[in-house]
Amino acid sequence: LAERAFLVTGASTGIGAAVAKAFAAQGARVAVHYNENRQAAEEVHHSIRQRGGEAVLVQADVSQPGESERAVEFAAAELGGLDGLVNNAGGMLGRLPTLDMDDAHFARVMDLNARSVLAATRAAVPFLKLRGGFVINTTSIAARNGGGNGAVLYAAAKGFVSTITRGHAKEFVGDGIRVNAVAPGIVATPFHDRYTSPEMLDAQRQSVPMGRVGTPEECVGAYL
């Protein structure tokens, strides 16, 4: 991975931040994407630079049309091309039962978690074709089990990610581009700090054979 260029979306906190640091630790040049949390993204950027790595910051609201494409093009311009794209940006945007959500909520969740993956991948493919690069999508255990309380739409969006990963793996193999996904289970990130009560998280923890939730750092090996 040394000297190769990668864009990691949703890299200011959680799994994305851990993945960005892990790639940089292998000598890669990393574009650290964020939306609102610039301070956290700057801390990731500083951590990479402090250890002798190379990183650039990329701001974009990938839930908005054209923003995923802009982030990819900016990263490629700053890094001199792209060898890999990690589509990690996503979020639940609130726990709502299916019957309580409106069309606007549906659109926000699908735009952030599903459409952004397709848009970023389409924008990245021309760059990745030149280098035999790869795409890694972050899906979720929720794509397989339907999600927890109030998370059905998020789970469905991640189901889209899982399926499009399989399809893109076949569609882009002729261009020398590998497409895979990582499906984390219950991981201690700001995602759960925001959307999961301590009681709900404890119930989820009890479903894990090891008796604890995972950490972002435990996920990076699969991405590497």
Catalytic residues: 154
- 197 Cβ contact list (under 8 Å, min separation 6): none
Structural contact between residues 7 and 70, judged by C-beta atoms closer than 8 angstroms: no
Phi then psi for residue 84, to 5 deg, are -160, 150
- 186 Cβ contact list (under 8 Å, min separation 6): 141, 192, 201, 204, 205, 207, 208, 213, 214
- 179 Cβ contact list (under 8 Å, min separation 6): 121, 134, 135, 136, 137, 165, 168, 169, 172
CA dihedral for 34, 57, 179, 218, sign (positive or negative): negative
